[in-house]
């Protein structure tokens, strides 16, 4: 059930920015960022077909093709097929995140969580990634933020299609592990209650961060810990707002979030630490969390992320966050975790 034996460290590389998320990257920028990640020892790379309609997978595959396949761990996702037809990316329907990859490739994206589509998606990803195997496959975004009230129907299609297809691939040794990759806790809670072969792990983006963790703490993380289902945390910077950006939940941050971030920044300055350090170390302090995968689109961000993992943070900083209600009393705090 655990994937910790597959993961090479506490931090991985989230490839969504390589799909031209928010802005257009050149191939040279993408390669330089990946080179920085590799040179700094990162060996886990997570991507998805929907990131730029195949662009992130293609860029990642081109880079990794220069290395021995045994040297790195690779995960991608199923649920969205990239077609040979074209569409205007800015009009693409991606639920609450409709313009997320408006600078990506113009290939049409077809949502399908059935068994046949899952197998086709895996084959397509292998081709784009220039590899013969995948270590982990996530069932992607089968949740409210993309499908609204229809998400339960999509989940049922995934349960009878993708879940079973990936279980067979795992049993046959074609993939190492599978799970769900979502931005909401409800699909993960529902999955843990199923009387079916269980997933090995979950990729949870944005729901266990300094800014947003209450719901995950209530049921999901304790249940995952009991069941031995590891959590990989994506989006630890809450779409960038925690580290100087303006986005929260992939859109403009609301006023209350901006106010909270300003307070966190003020406390970080007062204690002489970086907010990036607090964001990463908070996530990794929970025993259910196996690793964290922040995204990056600039080489300099990689060194910053790695340095942030080990920056000493005074216990008083965490105690203040807890006292002011920014951090839940149920959340493990790094300085007090042991």
Cβ–Cβ under 8 Å, residues 291 and 45: no
Structure tokens at 51: 């990131």
Structure tokens at 221: 């993380």
Cβ–Cβ under 8 Å, residues 53 and 102: no
CB within 8 Å of 67: residues ≥ 6 apart: 38
**Rounded to 5°, angle at Cα 181 from 165 and 33:** 115
Cβ–Cβ under 8 Å, residues 268 and 274: yes
Closest CA to 57 of 67, 46, 68: 46
Instruction: Give the span between the Cα atoms of 155 and 213, in whole angstroms.
Output: 23
Cβ–Cβ under 8 Å, residues 130 and 45: no
**Rounded to 5°, angle at Cα 187 from 166 and 280:** 95
Where helices occur in the chain by DSSP H, the ranges are 27-39, 55-64, 115-129, 144-147, 151-160, 162-171, 186-192, 214-215, 221-227, 255-271, 275-284, 299-310, 315-323
| Positions marked catalytic | 46, 51, 77
């Amino acid at each position: 059930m655990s994937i910790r034996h597959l993961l090479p460290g506490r931090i991985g590389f989230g490839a969504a920015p390589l799909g031209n998320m928010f802005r257009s990257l050149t191939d040279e920028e993408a390669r330089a960022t990946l080179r920085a990640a590799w040179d700094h020892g990162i060996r886990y790379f997570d991507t998805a077909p929907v990131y730029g309609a195949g662009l992130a997978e293609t860029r990642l595959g081109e880079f990794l093709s220069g290395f021995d396949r045994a040297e790195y761990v690779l995960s991608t996702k199923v649920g969205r097929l990239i077609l040979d037809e074209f569409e205007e990316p800015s009009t693409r329907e991606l639920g609450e995140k409709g313009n997320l990859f408006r600078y990506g490739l113009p290939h049409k994206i077809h949502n399908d969580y059935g068994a046949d589509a899952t197998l086709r998606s895996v084959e397509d990803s292998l081709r784009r990634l220039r590899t013969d195997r995948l270590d982990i496959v996530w069932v992607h975004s089968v949740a409210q933020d993309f499908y609204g009230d229809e998400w339960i129907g999509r989940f049922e299609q995934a349960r009878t299609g993708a879940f079973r297809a990936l279980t067979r691939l795992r049993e046959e040794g074609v993939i190492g592990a599978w799970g769900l990759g979502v931005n909401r806790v409800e699909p993960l809670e529902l999955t843990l209650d199923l009387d079916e072969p269980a997933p090995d792990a979950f990729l949870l983006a944005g729901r266990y961060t300094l800014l947003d963790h209450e719901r995950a703490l209530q049921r999901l993380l304790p249940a995952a810990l009991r069941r031995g289902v590891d959590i990989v945390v994506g989006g630890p910077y809450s779409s960038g707002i925690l580290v100087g950006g303006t986005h929260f939940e992939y859109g403009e941050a609301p006023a209350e979030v901006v106010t909270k971030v300003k307070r966190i920044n003020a406390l970080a300055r007062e204690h002489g630490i970086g907010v990036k350090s607090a964001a990463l170390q908070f996530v990794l302090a929970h025993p259910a969390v196996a690793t964290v995968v922040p995204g990056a689109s600039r080489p300099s961000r990689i060194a910053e992320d790695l340095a942030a993992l080990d920056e000493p943070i005074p216990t008083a900083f965490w105690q203040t966050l807890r006292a002011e209600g920014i951090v839940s009393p149920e959340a493990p705090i790094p300085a007090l975790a042991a």
